[in-house]
Amino acid sequence: MVETRKLKEALRRELSQREFQPSLIYPLLEDPDTLVGPLFSFLPQTEKFLRWHAVTSLGLVAEEISKRDLERGRVILRKLMWNLNDESGGIGWGCAEAMGEILYRVRPLAMEFSTILVSYIHEEENYLEQIPLIEGALWGIARASQTNPDTLKRGIPKLLEYLANRKVEFRIYAFLALDNMGVVIDNSLKEILSRDQRRAEVYWNARFQEIQVSELIKI
């Protein structure tokens, strides 16, 4: 128990830094199972560096675990899904993002679980309802689409709807996902986006950066 507490405190301290340091995680991957519990506990934290770096770290941990035993990787995803389920009694902050990070890193899991991640943005399916949770699912889809776009194409029609949504984060994540999938956006929607000068700070490729909607069209 003491060692577990020390590990959690060390992780919290390091993951709370502005810059993500993968050198912290890699030495610990010899025994990746010890990291799962602490990282799960950081996902709902309000402190942004801690929460987002925990998302990245959980992806690395799940990747290592899946290399050894894919079923144990499935168990991590099922726990994230359970936390997003109303019946679990939890809110599930950070869980959709962690799902996306894992699906970005582990293709066999992306082939199995991408449909579920996409279902979280569909009103007639496993819709998450709360805006921050939907935003998290869109981020997760965008992240997973960087490496496994073919597993997420069922979500294209709905992503186009989110691209037209006025919420800036919805637009950014939907655009990134659609762009990764090679979707051609029609000129009328391009015109709307090109006039949107709003910016948002987003966590992308393990660092925080500002993205302006109109600049996306130039990608």
Q: What is the pLDDT of residues 83-133, one digit of tens each?
A: 998 655 557 999 999 999 999 999 999 999 999 999 999 999 999 989 999
- pLDDT reported for residue 90: 59
On the question of pLDDT at 219 being above 70, the answer is: no
Share of the chain above pLDDT 70, in %: 96
Task: Map tokens 């959709």 to a residue.
Answer: 96
| Least confident span in 18-27, 30-39, 81-90 | 81-90
CB 145 within 8 A of CB 177: yes
- pLDDT reported for residue 2: 44
- pLDDT reported for residue 70: 98
Q: Does the pTM exceed 0.85? A: yes
Q: Across residues 14-38, what is the average pLDDT?
A: 87
- pLDDT reported for residue 38: 94
- pLDDT reported for residue 30: 83
> 23 versus 137: which is more confidently predicted?
137
Q: What is the pLDDT of residues 173-214, one digit of tens each?
A: 999 999 999 999 999 999 999 999 999 999 999 999 999 999
- pLDDT reported for residue 87: 53
CB 108 within 8 A of CB 63: no
Domain segments of the chain: what residues? Answer: 2-149
